[in-house]
Structure 1
């Protein structure tokens, strides 16, 4: 008499091999989707920060954000950048609470977005005579130069596309 309903060792082995092949295909694809999402968010956050810097400069006598009270004789500061982005300002770059009479520009964003690669939202401010570093080092979320209104990601590493995060 023959037994019915049981799987042979060969059938089980075939199923295990097929599951192994499927896992080898699916797991890397799922793993890289997180990196792709970070790249996309990084590009969008940089676009947002760059657009803010250009719009702010256009509305504030061609002075980029970061200079305290819009005074280009002072060194740019992170606090001035954040305040000018997230509160109201006047044409000279002085900031005040939203709704303050005479401060009819801004706010431009609710907060400074975090860099999705390193999770930081701080900004390394470059002075007027400072050059950008050769690469990001993940000590801040962003690197910004007020004199030129340029923003870069302070991120080491490379995206799935082979491009350095710093060059996005």
Structure 2
């Protein structure tokens, strides 16, 4: 019968050192791809929200989502924006459950997407006279101005090229 030999301490140390070197090389690449994936997701979510806003506006007498019953004399609100996004609506912007007769438009999205950078899905709606903030502050997922149909990310930080997420 042959006697089996165990690993020596030197062999174990060599394996541990090689695993350490591999970790030092691979971990930054994996971490970097995670950041890059968030940036790509942010760009895609913004593109989707911007398209939704334009389609909604085209189908609702050139009035963007957020205005109660499509009335531009009233201030746009987040609850109305969400309803007009996720429910069916009529040309005036009034909402109803999906499948309700006379409310043949929408829904446009199943839900407001989560901003992949700050993990928020809330929407800050700006009034007609309000300007966009100078910078993002991470208090909401998105910032939307109904009167101009502009959508921005409310994410602080920049990508690898120094472009602020706010300017995507």
Tell whether the structures are fold-level matches, with TM greater than 0.5: yes
The CA deviation at 1:23 is 2.1
Question: How do 1:10-21 residues align onto structure 2 when only pairs under 5 Å count?
Answer: 17-21=17-21
Please name the residue that 2:130 is paired with.
130
Residues 35, 160 of structure 1: 8 Å contact kept: no
Aligned residues: 164
Report the Cα distance in structure 1 between the residues aligned to 2:42 and 2:20, rounded to whole angstroms: 34
Tell me the SS of whatever aligns to 2:75. coil
Please name the residue that 2:51 is paired with.
51
Report the Cα distance in structure 2 between the residues aligned to 1:7 and 1:116, rounded to whole angstroms: 48
Please name the residue that 2:104 is paired with.
104
The CA deviation at 1:83 is 0.5
Question: How do 1:28-39 residues align onto structure 2 when only pairs under 5 Å count?
Answer: 28-39=28-39
Question: How do 1:143-154 residues align onto structure 2 when only pairs under 5 Å count?
Answer: 143-154=143-154
Tell me the SS of whatever aligns to 1:117. coil
Tell me the SS of whatever aligns to 1:35. helix
Report the Cα distance in structure 2 between the residues aligned to 1:138 and 1:128, rounded to whole angstroms: 22
* TM-score normalised over the length of structure 2: 0.89
Q: Give per-residue Cα distances to partners, 1:1-58, cap 9 Å, x unaligned.
A: xxx997685x776655544432221110011111111111111111111000000000
Please name the residue that 1:117 is paired with.
117
The CA deviation at 1:68 is 0.5
Please name the residue that 2:60 is paired with.
60
* TM-score normalised over the length of structure 1: 0.89
Please name the residue that 2:77 is paired with.
77
Residues 82, 112 of structure 1: 8 Å contact kept: yes
Report the Cα distance in structure 1 between the residues aligned to 2:132 and 2:116, rounded to whole angstroms: 21
Report the Cα distance in structure 2 between the residues aligned to 1:6 and 1:58, rounded to whole angstroms: 72
Unaligned runs of 5+ residues in structure 2 are: none
Report the Cα distance in structure 2 between the residues aligned to 1:100 and 1:17, rounded to whole angstroms: 66
Unaligned runs of 5+ residues in structure 1 are: none
